Homo-oligomer: A and B are copies of this chain.
Amino acid sequence: MRNTKLEGLSPGPTLIERAYEAILDAISDRRLEPGERINQEDLAGRLQISRQPVGQALNILKSQGFVRDNGRRGLIVAPLEREFFQSIYQLRGALDAMAAELAAGRRSDADVVEGRGLVAEGRRAMKSGKMEALIDADKRFHMWTYRVAGNPLLVDTMGLYWNHLRRAMAELLRRPSGRDLVWDEHQAILDAIVAGDADEARARALAHARDASARLVEAIPAPAVPASEDEARAERRRA
């Protein structure tokens, strides 16, 4: 029962798509630092392709807020700014609450199994202490709620936002304050969804988003490390 209508041959990943993925990944896990200047030629060289697909990928990234115009001096990786992440968390609060509420009314048996697995995985990641795994498990749990909620647009939209959040997460999880708390809260959301208690699920999700927001906002240095043009210039002079 696979490919019942096989007219659906996808044209395969183009260089643009691969460049997009590669660059977004690098930005998300901070191999490309916030505020760092971006050079098309350099990126193209590292990816072993021409500037063309790189430029197109960067344009998409720009429209999604991951990179930003830097006057006439090309692009920079979007700096980490408190207000921006507060904005994201505000939206996330509203959407997570909605997602949890919907999920409580729609979860299937398979969903429940998967959800429990994700929480277990998260707790394991927590014990392992590996930051990468922890961030990943966090995202995966929440993406699960969006999926179970049954709104594809929600999955796409929040998926993008989570790439933004990932950049700040590293900062956040560095301090172990309340790491356990996170997965207790996830557990509570899961339980409410499993129980089919929509109101409770909504309330728990909202509380979790608020807590996460508070934790994150204090983790981002207040004046937002702008990595200014002057700094960049100085750096170049040094080299």
In the complex, the count of this chain's copies comes to 2
Measured between beta carbons, the chain B residues less than 8 angstroms from A55 are 56
- Interface of A: prevailing SS: helix
Number of interface residues of A (CB under 8 A): 34
Give CA–CA (A221, B8) in the complex, Å.
25
From B16, B59, B87, B98, give the contact of A153 (CB < 8 A): B87
From B8, B9, B11, B91, give the contact of A151 (CB < 8 A): B91
Measured between beta carbons, the chain B residues less than 8 angstroms from A170 are none
Q: Mark A29-65, 1 if CB is under 8 A from B, else 0.
A: 0000000000000000000000000011001100111
Q: Which residues of A contact B (CB under 8 A)?
A: 7-11, 16, 55-56, 59-60, 63-65, 69, 71-72, 83-84, 87-88, 90-91, 93-95, 97-98, 102, 151-154, 156-157
List 24 A–B pairs whose Cβ atoms lie within 8 Å, in order of A's numbering.
Answer: A7-B71, A9-B71, A10-B69, A16-B59, A55-B56, A59-B59, A59-B60, A60-B60, A60-B63, A63-B64, A65-B156, A84-B152, A87-B154, A88-B153, A90-B102, A90-B151, A90-B153, A91-B153, A91-B154, A91-B157, A94-B95, A94-B97, A95-B95, A157-B157
